[in-house]
Structure 1
Amino acid sequence: MRAATATGAGGPDVLSVTEVDEPRPQPGEVLVDVVATAVNRADTLQRQGFYPPPPGASDIMGLECSGRIAELGEGVEGWKVGDEVCALLAGGGYAERVAVPVGQVMPVPGGVSLVEAACLPEVAATVWSNVFMTAHLARGERFLVHGGAGGIGTMAIQLAAARGAEVFTTAGSPEKLELCRSLGATHAIDYHEDDFVEVLQEAGGADVVLDNMGAKYLGRNVTSLATGGRLVIIGMQGGSKGELDINALLRKRASVTATSLRARPLSEKAAICCGVVENVWPLVASGDVRPIVETTMPLEDVARAHRMMDDGGRAGKIVLTL
């Protein structure tokens, strides 16, 4: 089968489409004919050699896909060959076929195309598991997400707003700020001009902060928290080592949690996917939450897609089609 592979760690030019062996579904897995996949920040880190796949996972990049079931592994029930699905992956999405644990296979939500569905599993699972399962964001609470125009940000804004939170976000251009407002952000903060800490403190503090910057924003995120606030860190774009003021956390009775999704046990990922289908997919079907796709291109343009991701300035997801 065709797959996008890397000749080694490096820039986008190490990527090209080659022929590789087709995977076979193991017991408890389904084989999916991939229609589309999406580019995530983790893919670019893996390409650079900083984020290897977990043991047993495919070394082909791609953490989500959409397509049709081609074959059922032993013991799989509830699905049939030909079903249209999307899936959360530990790897392998940049290929014509991928084997997926059945607990990570989800129906395509109503109201979206099969291609659009490719960019939903990773962001929906990330936001649902962190903002709601871990931080327990509740109706009426104040929520801050950084990078509101990105893949995670656009999903987080929509989902938090749909569930009744007051949404704050940061972005770096007038166009991105307007996109964030259109998705439900009550307060879109230009990080070039304004200090999100001051904005949140004036509002009474953030009950939940979802952060992909890590060390760079650690102290300011803690300062922006309300009493009982919860900071959830899901990335290290701003570094991995920072100074944490324990006294500030104690005074606020606040908490800091750091999580990842890719290496979680299958049972945990299955529970997250169940939560997504139950709680997020109805909002997609109703139009309250929608996939934000910046561009779609064929798998053969994978190097260009990674170059776009590296250059930044995007709004929404980059989708690769097969």
Structure 2
Amino acid sequence: MSGLPDTMQAIEISAPGGPEVLRPVTVPVPVPGPGRILIEVGFAGVNRPDALQRAGAYAPPPSASPLPGLEAAGRVAAVGPGVTRWSVGDAVTALLPGGGYAEYALAPAEHALPVPDGMALREAACLPETCFTVWSNVVMRGGLRAGERFLVHGGSSGIGTTAIQIAAALGARVFATAGSAEKCAACSALGAERAINYRDEDFVDVLKAEGGADVILDMVGGDYIARNLKALAEDGRLVQIAFLQGPSAEINFAPLMMRRQTLTGSTLRPQSDAAKARIAEELGARVWPMIAAGQLRPVIDSEFALTEAAAAHRRIESSGHIGKIVLRVGG
């Protein structure tokens, strides 16, 4: 690849374990194959699946880079055979199969989107993982519509802050749970009509008083699963995307049947390239206009240098953050 270095700096997982197993390495710059683009990374997003992979609990797909990092923003450095949508120099933000903690990363061309006008790469790097996850689960899977009641748990997380803004832009009534007054205030400022401090209030009681939630987005699991079903309205949809408190629960399914509720869920990384391309197409048509209209903006908690990836992981695992955490990679 003309003009590109042969090697790059990256962060590898030296062995399964805590944040300390993340270490800087020098590795070859990857070469884009058919349908792929090579991105010179400016910023990379940090997400909980990265921490799970580091701990040995979330293996990358066989064809993916073993390096962590599921989203990045930067400029196209090279294009593979058959790529016509992007040209060298284009500013893009992309969902990655892995490899974002590096100076260069590969992405399927159809999983990239243009950096929104006026948005810095720092913010753009926060969009893919959360927007792909929220849109595909809340709208494509959960079917959220204007006027419906929507509840998101972990409202101050990267997923939560994105879900609140997208649901509000769709015209839904938004409710969110969080664990402190500061986090609840952040949820309210983003468009939640009611932020519920789960340490002081029972979200089941709050939602029941409103008629129940039509859609719930949950990443907690455990005993929240049964409680979520109680908080749902008739014909309500519970969408599960993670299990911070574990995937097991004892549930009485009779009310679910009687009240015509739906329990569903998904995880993003194992889905096919074609499935992710369909999500990206919807984001371009439906969510990028929200950004242009000022209805959606990434909330950034903190920024770390690429070599400080371990500190970034400690931050996300502390659950003290509000919004997204990013790694600064490029100059």
| TM-score under structure 2 length normalisation | 0.96
Identity among equivalent positions (%) equals 49
**93, 105, 118: which is aligned to 1:98?**
105
Question: Superposition pairs for residues 1-322 of structure 1, below 5 Å?
Answer: 1-322=8-329
Distance (whole Å) between structure 1 residues aligned to residue 231 and residue 114 of structure 2 = 38
Distance (whole Å) between structure 1 residues aligned to residue 252 and residue 286 of structure 2 = 35
Distance (whole Å) between structure 2 residues aligned to residue 280 and residue 31 of structure 1 = 24
Give the residue type in structure 2 aligned to 1:250. M
1:261 partner SS: coil
For residues 24-51 of structure 1, what are the alpha-carbon distances to aligned partners after superposition, in whole Å with 9 as ceiling and x for unaligned?
Answer: 1010101110110011000000000000
For residues 106-135 of structure 1, what are the alpha-carbon distances to aligned partners after superposition, in whole Å with 9 as ceiling and x for unaligned?
Answer: 101223211210011000010000000111
Residues 110, 284 of structure 1: 8 Å contact kept: no
1:168 partner SS: strand
Distance (whole Å) between structure 2 residues aligned to residue 285 and residue 175 of structure 1 = 28
Moved more, 154-163 or 111-120: 111-120
Residues 125, 272 of structure 1: 8 Å contact kept: yes
Distance (whole Å) between structure 1 residues aligned to residue 85 and residue 40 of structure 2 = 18
Residues 65, 86 of structure 1: 8 Å contact kept: yes
2:275 partner SS: helix
Residues 137, 208 of structure 1: 8 Å contact kept: yes
Distance (whole Å) between structure 2 residues aligned to residue 6 and residue 99 of structure 1 = 18
Distance (whole Å) between structure 2 residues aligned to residue 109 and residue 255 of structure 1 = 35
1:214 partner SS: coil
Distance (whole Å) between structure 2 residues aligned to residue 216 and residue 61 of structure 1 = 30
How many residues align? The count is 322
Residues 85, 109 of structure 2: 8 Å contact kept: no
2:315 partner SS: helix
**Residue 246 of structure 1: how far off its partner (Å):** 1.2
For residues 285-305 of structure 1, what are the alpha-carbon distances to aligned partners after superposition, in whole Å with 9 as ceiling and x for unaligned?
Answer: 221110100111210110111
Spell out structure 1 runs of 4+ moving beyond 4 A.
none
Residues 232, 256 of structure 1: 8 Å contact kept: yes
| TM-score under structure 1 length normalisation | 0.99
Extract unaligned runs of 5+ from structure 1: none
Distance (whole Å) between structure 1 residues aligned to residue 178 and residue 22 of structure 2 = 30
Distance (whole Å) between structure 2 residues aligned to residue 309 and residue 153 of structure 1 = 14
